[in-house]
Amino acid sequence: MTQPISRLSIKRIVISLLILVGIPFIEKLIESFTGNETIAFTFAFTLAGWILIIYDWNLFGIHYNRCKEHVGDTILYTLIGFILIGGWAFFNRSFLQGKMLLPDKDTLSKYFFAFPVILLAYSYIQAFIVNICFKCLTDHLDIREKELLIILVSGFSFGLVYTLLFTPFETTLLIQTYLYNVILVCILSYLYNQSSSFIPGILAMGTVYLILSIL
């Protein structure tokens, strides 16, 4: 499918991306009180995710309606995304070793009562944040008949942003994580361009990260 013409204003794009940029600052603030990174990211992801959902409610509604109108495409590209992201995540954990934002098992064991909230934050909420923010970052690019270009631009640009925001400044780790994030976002961009909705990307990435978090 061809991606529709942009519907987002510059103001909406900037504010949405500023919410993304605010996540690591909120995480550090909460961690200074709790002393626990997983709890801090759970709070930061949840807060940012709900703000984005409320602020970009119309955008979310548009993509949800496209999802309902093309249920077959949604199911197909969710499954394709699950296979691609799952395979890439497995390769990363086994060989590449890029940093993935996942909860630590000690926190999940210690704060068992918060288990569902932590899992939700690190899986579907994180997936929602990634998908809606990479969409905002590349929204005004003219991509008609340039699908491969927009997939690569999305991967390299948003992959860089997400890497710099959430990865410690260690050269090797930055390179490994950037490569992981580039391919991840390229997959999400591919799913979006094929289905004209970011819902398959959210469902596919969220499910893979949920499984990884439980494992």
Going residue by residue through the chain, which has 215 residues, state the pLDDT in tens, using 9 for 90 and above.
Answer: 444 445 667 888 889 899 999 999 999 999 999 999 999 999 999 999 999 988 877 777 777 778 777 788 889 999 999 999 999 999 999 999 999 999 998 888 887 788 899 999 999 999 999 999 988 877 766 655 677 888 888 889 899 999 999 999 999 999 999 999 999 999 999 998 888 888 999 999 999 999 999 88
The structure's pTM equals 0.89
Annotated domain spans of the chain: 10-214
- CB neighbourhood size of 55 (10 A): 15
Q: Which amino acid is at 9?
A: S
Sign of the CA dihedral with 138 first, then 63, 123, and 82 last: negative
The string over 130-147, giving b where at least 16 C-beta atoms fall within 10 Å of a residue's C-beta and e elsewhere, is bbbbbbbbbbeeebeeeb
What does the alpha-carbon distance between residue 192 and residue 74 come to, in Å, rounded to a whole number? 10
Q: How far apart are CA 89 and CA 31, in angstroms?
A: 27
